[in-house]
């Protein structure tokens, strides 16, 4: 396998019908991977995502509509993928953020955020990693957040889930560090921790800031960035796709247990 040749590899990306997940799926498809998309909701959104990924790659993409709060549904998805040959690359990207002060964060908010952002990654990893080890090649890339490195107010469940995802990834990285060989690529587990990235997840926060500037969206983004992100530049989802692609390369065989920031210096402060 050349540095960016993923022919013959199967990649599952959760939460991949838009935003960061879709950008990752397109990047891996262009490198030759067979893509398995995941999402819920709008069927037209799913169809559009499949069309984009098929257009970027081999055209044999697959899609699962699975509620990541349902462990049995995750088990069913992973079992079907195992029966079809297994997953070589697992990207746990699906996430939910509900902003509320700690005193107003209900048990339901906590359970939902932790289930989607953290527990779902645990359940996909426990299925995928043993077979990756048997094959001598595997990549788990968990999309955490700058909030897995530093905290913010009114986001306690989200911050807890992302700190937990970093910890889970480091523990799994240690367990599988000696699987495979340099030639085959080994098995690695890493997290990517984006700062402000232009996606639907942060759109409500952009709109809230824009309202403070007479509805000017660009002014709202600038206001938001000035608070935390020293570069004063918002990230593009394609930047994260490019980093995932590198982590899938054999050249990244010794990069494991890392939490990689794309945050414009936010977590360096």
Q: Residues 40-55: pLDDT tens digits?
A: 988 899 999 999 999 9
The neighbour count for residue 269, using CB atoms within 10 Å, is 9
pLDDT at 2 over 50: no
SS3 assignment, position 25: helix
Residues 6+ apart with CB under 8 A from 4: 31, 245, 248, 249
Q: What angle do CA 12, 17, 19 make, to 5 degrees?
A: 105
Q: 62 phi and psi, to 5 degrees?
A: -125, 160
Over the stretch 165-211, which tens digit does the pLDDT of each residue have? 999 999 999 999 999 999 999 999 999 999 999 988 788 889 999 99
Name 185's Cβ contacts closer than 8 Å, sequence gap at least 6: 1, 136, 137, 249, 250, 253
- Looking at residue 4, its pLDDT comes to 62
- Evaluate if residue 57 carries a pLDDT over 60: yes
Quote the pTM value.
Answer: 0.95
| Rounded Cα distance, 167 and 240, in Å | 20
pLDDT attached to residue 59: 87
Whether 98 and 157 have beta carbons less than 8 Å apart is answered as: yes
Summarize the chain as % helix, strand, coil (round to 5).
Answer: 50, 15, 35
User: Among the options 63, 137, 158, 176, which is catalytic?
Assistant: 158
Residue 101 has pLDDT above 70, yes or no: yes
Residue-averaged pLDDT of the chain: 95
Please, is 36 exposed, middle or buried when counting C-beta atoms within 10 Å of its C-beta (0-12, 13-18, 19+)? Answer: buried
63 is catalytic: no
pLDDT of residue 1 exceeding 50: no
Average pLDDT over residues 108-116: 98
Domain ranges of the chain: 10-195+236-261, 198-234
Closest CA to 27 of 43, 38, 42, 16: 16
14 pLDDT above the threshold of 70: yes
Q: Could you tell me the sign of the dihedral formed by the alpha carbons of 245, 246, 247, 249, in that order?
A: positive
- For domain 10-195+236-261, the CATH class is alpha beta
Neighbours of 51 (CB within 10 A): 12
Is residue 58 over pLDDT 90? no
């Amino acid at each position: 396998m050349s540095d960016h040749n993923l022919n013959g590899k199967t990649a599952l990306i959760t939460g991949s019908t838009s935003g960061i997940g879709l950008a990752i799926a397109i990047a891996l498809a262009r490198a030759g991977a067979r893509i398995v998309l995941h999402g819920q909701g709008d069927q037209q959104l799913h169809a559009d995502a499949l069309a984009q990924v098929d257009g970027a790659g081999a055209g044999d993409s697959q899609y699962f509509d699975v509620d990541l709060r349902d462990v049995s549904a995750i088990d069913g998805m992973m079992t079907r993928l195992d029966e079809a040959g297994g997953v070589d690359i697992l990207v746990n990207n699906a996430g939910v953020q509900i902003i509320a002060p700690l005193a107003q964060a209900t048990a339901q908010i906590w359970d939902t955020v932790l289930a989607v952002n953290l527990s779902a990654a645990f359940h996909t990893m426990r299925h995928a990693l043993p077979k990756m080890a048997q094959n001598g090649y595997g990549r788990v890339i968990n999309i955490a957040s700058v909030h897995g490195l530093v905290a913010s107010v009114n986001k306690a469940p989200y911050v807890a889930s992302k700190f937990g995802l970093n910890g889970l990834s480091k523990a799994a990285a240690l367990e599988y560090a000696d699987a495979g060989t340099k030639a085959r690529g080994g098995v690695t587990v890493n997290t990517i921790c984006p700062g402000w990235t232009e996606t639907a997840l942060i759109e409500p926060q952009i709109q809230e800031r824009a309202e403070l500037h007479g509805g000017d969206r660009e002014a709202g983004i600038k206001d938001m960035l000035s608070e935390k992100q020293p570069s004063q530049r918002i990230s593009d989802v394609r930047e994260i796709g490019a980093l995932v692609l590198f982590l899938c390369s054999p050249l990244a065989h010794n990069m494991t247990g890392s939490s990689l920031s794309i945050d414009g210096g936010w977590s360096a402060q």
